[in-house]
Structure 1
Amino acid sequence: MNAARPLTPPTAWEDLVTAALLGTDRRTPPGTAPGRAAPAALLDAAAAETVRRRAGLRPGRAAPLPAPAAEDPRPALPVAAARRLAFLLADRPGSGSGGRRGTAPDLMELLPQWLTAVNARGFAAPAESLPALLDAARGRTDLRPAALEFAGPRALWLARLNPDWRFALRAAPGGGASLPGPTETERIERLWQEGLFAERVALLATIRLRDPDAARELLAASWSAERAEDRLMFLDSLRAGLGPRDEPFLEQALTDRSRNVRATAAELLSALPGSALAARMAVRAGACVAVDHTVDTPTLLVEAPHECDAAMERDGVSAKAPPGRGERSWWFGQLVEAAPLATWRSRLGGRTPEQIVALPVADDWLGELHAAWCRAAVRQRDADWSRALLGVPSAPGAGGPGAVSLAERAKLLGTLPAAERADWVAGFIAAHGLSEAFQLLGVCPVPWATPLGRAVVDALNIARDAGSYPWSFSGVMGLAERCLDPGEAARLDALLAVPDEPEDASPGAGSYWAEAFQRLGRTLRLRAVMAQELTSPPAPTSSPPD
């Protein structure tokens, strides 16, 4: 009888793996007799070989420990708010596909609002919550700015250790390093010359906020060496703090070899009513519009340009019209959009914006003219013209003649003070209901002002009583959960019962409406509690991660 031979490296482990893959009936393990005992012998041999292999490893040199995370000087989050954060981060969307949501608040939809509130109060994130917070921000890009602001320097420390969180480094200039201060000229110059594109954009935007002239000079120094697509993004950063001192640089950009850069420079110059480009556009646009006094009612006459010359193109007018658009109307709209709105008062007999908008326009030019004025009002942030173009919210067609779409109305509303904006939308909803209000509600500050919130709740109640199809209002209901003032929760108590369904109502609509109002009320009360938790006693100071 032959004695068992010892397993010898380096073939022993490979032989055992081969025997396991083929089976002991076809391949006997080395040093083992075939038969019923072969499988057990294979496992014994594998266990012994595993121990031998591990014992034979030489210990490697210990890697240096990472440097400790930077201290976060902000105050610790209150205890109750820290618990709330854990609940918000633990919530995950249900696995159902399109089913009813029930009456429970959607915690993940409240997380963005909670982050905004906590950042406004300047609290630091608890160290133990950072992994879950980074995971949530990884899955939802809309959370990232607020989540990373709240997470602070410790999140960047963690992101260097976990590839799944590298997005945090990409979002931070200098790969997570702090931005240079105003006096750190060498660091500013090095990051501007050597940084990645996203880092340079972030650096330029930051400097622009604190010193617009310094940012413009930094950009001008390297302008000629930048790629066209980079010049476009850098130029766009000048929107913040745009002023007359930017005009010489923007005028130079009008001769750029990139059409998109030229168009952006022209747009920025037209937003400066006192610029030379704005004056040129005022002359061109003014020559196209006049008042006809030969008819009983003064009427605006439009004579659109017959050509787009080189000077117009240099000033940002695009010569080629989009498909389905006439060239002359295309050129005309661009001229009016870029002309200072103050031009029209002197050009049209000293009339106010309301009087100008009310004038009839001959030959079907009304839509084109008013749409261009809408764009000009938004670009120049002119509230008086926006009011004139919006008209009263109860007007037929739900707006002024220039408000050609909900998107235009929303943009015009964005130029008005917050309270006036909310009042206009409340009047719109009272007159026209909620069917077209969703986009308008999105431009109103949160929490909604009391008149707006009550108009929304009243309109939802009217829709319910009318037997309207409930699921068509789910978007507005979800918006109300996030935007209604929590103080409105008590007004909802009368709406929680299941209503009687009209004969022509959708089956089950009544119970759906009751469920939706219950969820709305519970969400508002939860938001009130969450706000109160941010004013409770602070949590013990967390230690930085090891």
Structure 2
Amino acid sequence: MSGISPTQDTAAAASSWDDLVTTALLGTDRRPPAEAAPGREAPVALLDAAAVATVRRRAGLLPGRAAPRPEPAPGDPRPALPAAAARRLALLLADRSGGGGGRRGSSPDLTELLPQWLAAANAHGYAAPPQALPALLDAARGRTDLRPAALAFAGPRALWLARLNPDWRFALRAAPGGGATLPGAGDGEAVRRVWEEGLFAERVALLGALRARTPGRARELLEETWRKERAEDRLMFLDSLRTGLCAEDEPFLEQALGDRSRNVRATAAELLSALPGSALAGRMAARAAACVAIDHTGNSAGIVVEAPLECDPSMERDGVAARPPAGRGERSWWLGQLVEAAPLGMWPGRLGGRTPREIVALPVADGWQGELHAAWSRAAVRQRDAEWSRALLGAPSAPEAGGPGAVSLAERAKLLAALEPGERAAWVAGFIAAHGLSEAFQLLGVCAVPWAAPLGRAVVDALDIARDAGSYPWSFSGVMGLAERCLDPAQAAYLDGLLAIPDEREDAAPGSGGYWAEAFQRLVGTLRLRAAMAAELEPDTP
């Protein structure tokens, strides 16, 4: 063997294996094995030879080159979780059963408590326990609603793990710039290098970060390369100007009104209309004022509307879409866009010095009230005007489409967002007292959590009334789920009187009494568990 080189030995082994494969394909009758042992049948000899060759091939494999050792995980300077809170997190992450269908029983749903726990832990500024990170990332992978809070809690180590496990790559996609480290605003050279050479996600993240700290610097970068950017990129970059939008942005946005992309023009017009002192807002105010006026011909004052007869090129340049969606008339479509983009501060002077509440209360001729109020509602939401929002919401007891107020519950929910949390909660509590819970679900969704005490009591009282009325219990499951997440845990004692199974009325849904008792037991249990979770997160808890 000393005269045979390793290369020759390897070649001979490969040739022998190829011969065995060829014999197997052709069959031993047509081609007997070359190395058959005496007295052995050809098929058996072939298998024996193949077994020997297989062992030889496996024994001859060389170990692969070791992969480079990963960089150490970054540190997390945040304080560690209290021990009780860490144990609670492990329990919440271990319960992956999900809500499922059918009756939920009286036990709290731990999967619904995890988002609240994460929000509270982030508010305290704790770092995630390293041993909990894999389960936390798995939970966030399966539930997109968990991802922002889960990744904030997991911190920089989540990105480190995501680079090692393809199943967790969503964490990199969710991170600014795809997880890349962005330069500080003071490092001008690094900022310019990322802006000019970085990936699109890195550039978007950089622009957003600069916009939050130095809005003018972000706008300057955008101006330098604006004409060279693709239309879809220009749209994304322009959208970042919503953060810190100010009068200094107007010249750039005014220039963007002439962009060759219709979507870019529309976004620029929307941003300019959010600046009440902009030239575009002034042009829209003049157009809207020509369409809406006080009517003095009757015995009492009212509003008369004359919608535009055409959408001229100057209107289109200022963001007015000429072509209405299906089912909308052209003139009402143009009118709504003009009023929506006009500064709300112009209307008191235009309409006789009246306040927003007095303006909204005026009758509108020829059936234009719904269109006009809806446009004012969109303007109040865009301009975040609390006084106009309050006027358009009207009294909580007013019917959805009657009298002053928005034309739909969806628009009322948007208007509520402009009010302070306490006023918002009080308005929704009044709405529930007047209309019950059947139409209040989307209004409850915009209220601050935990619900203020008056709102919480209004919800519980309405649920109690629905139970006593023999209502079909499952129709309130959505509100009950919201109550479990949003009621103040301090109100658990207020519910103690609702835990017994009530006497069922003859016209009640079968078994509804047991369901209601079960649902209230689950609600009380969830509130008490939330209180315990909050106590465990306090730093001084032993």
Query: Same fold by TM (over 0.5)?
Result: yes
In the other structure, the counterpart of 1:532 is 535
Q: 1:248 aligns with which of 248, 251, 267?
A: 251
Q: 2:80 aligns with which of 76, 88, 92?
A: 76
In the other structure, the counterpart of 1:4 is none
In the other structure, the counterpart of 1:459 is 462
Give distance in 2, aligned partners of 1:258 and 1:128.
50
In the other structure, the counterpart of 1:238 is 241
Does the CA-based 8 Å contact 1:388-1:400 persist in structure 2?
no
Question: Offset of 1:166 from its aligned partner?
Answer: 1.3
Question: Offset of 1:455 from its aligned partner?
Answer: 0.5
**Which has the larger displacement, 287-296 or 337-346?**
287-296
String of CA shifts for 1:136-177, please: whole Å, max 9, x gaps: 111122222211111111111111111111121222234423
Give distance in 1, aligned partners of 2:242 and 2:83.
41
| AA partner of residue 341 (structure 2) | A
Q: CA RMSD in A?
A: 2.8
Give distance in 1, aligned partners of 2:444 and 2:236.
30
In the other structure, the counterpart of 1:55 is 59
* Cα distance change on mapping 1:183 and 1:51 into 2, 3 Å: same
* Cα distance change on mapping 1:252 and 1:501 into 2, 3 Å: same
Question: Offset of 1:325 from its aligned partner?
Answer: 1.0
Question: Offset of 1:108 from its aligned partner?
Answer: 1.6
| AA partner of residue 60 (structure 1) | G
5 Å-filtered alignment, 1:56-455, equals 56-94=60-98, 98-397=101-400, 401-455=404-458
Question: Offset of 1:248 from its aligned partner?
Answer: 0.6
Give distance in 2, aligned partners of 1:497 and 1:400.
42
Does the CA-based 8 Å contact 2:141-2:147 persist in structure 1?
yes
Give distance in 1, aligned partners of 2:401 and 2:369.
17
String of CA shifts for 1:286-318, please: whole Å, max 9, x gaps: 111111222111111111111111111111111
String of CA shifts for 1:53-100, please: whole Å, max 9, x gaps: 44322233333211111111111111111111111111113595x221
* Cα distance change on mapping 1:500 and 1:99 into 2, 3 Å: same
In the other structure, the counterpart of 1:3 is none
The answer as to 2:489 corresponding to 1:486 is: yes
**Which has the larger displacement, 393-402 or 452-461?**
393-402
* Cα distance change on mapping 1:303 and 1:253 into 2, 3 Å: same
Give distance in 1, aligned partners of 2:412 and 2:239.
24
Secondary structure of 1:410's aligned partner? helix
In the other structure, the counterpart of 2:5 is none
Q: Sequence identity, in percent?
A: 75
Give distance in 2, aligned partners of 1:111 and 1:195.
36
Does the CA-based 8 Å contact 2:400-2:409 persist in structure 1?
no
Does the CA-based 8 Å contact 2:535-2:541 persist in structure 1?
no
String of CA shifts for 1:192-240, please: whole Å, max 9, x gaps: 2233322222221111111111111111111111111111121111111
Does the CA-based 8 Å contact 1:321-1:327 persist in structure 2?
yes
Give distance in 1, aligned partners of 2:441 and 2:533.
26
Give distance in 1, aligned partners of 2:457 and 2:49.
78
**Which has the larger displacement, 466-475 or 138-147?**
138-147
Secondary structure of 1:363's aligned partner? helix
In the other structure, the counterpart of 1:499 is 502
Aligned length: 523
The normalised TM-score by structure 1 is: 0.90
Does the CA-based 8 Å contact 1:15-1:30 persist in structure 2?
no
| AA partner of residue 106 (structure 1) | D
String of CA shifts for 1:358-397, please: whole Å, max 9, x gaps: 1111111111111111011111111001111001101233
Give distance in 2, aligned partners of 1:482 and 1:30.
77
| AA partner of residue 156 (structure 2) | P
Does the CA-based 8 Å contact 1:79-1:536 persist in structure 2?
no
5 Å-filtered alignment, 1:507-518, equals 507-518=510-521
Question: Offset of 1:446 from its aligned partner?
Answer: 0.5
| AA partner of residue 519 (structure 2) | A
* Cα distance change on mapping 1:375 and 1:527 into 2, 3 Å: same
The normalised TM-score by structure 2 is: 0.90
Give distance in 1, aligned partners of 2:538 and 2:18.
64
Does the CA-based 8 Å contact 2:275-2:281 persist in structure 1?
yes
* Cα distance change on mapping 1:125 and 1:11 into 2, 3 Å: farther
Give distance in 2, aligned partners of 1:14 and 1:282.
89
In the other structure, the counterpart of 1:543 is none
Question: Offset of 1:537 from its aligned partner?
Answer: 5.7
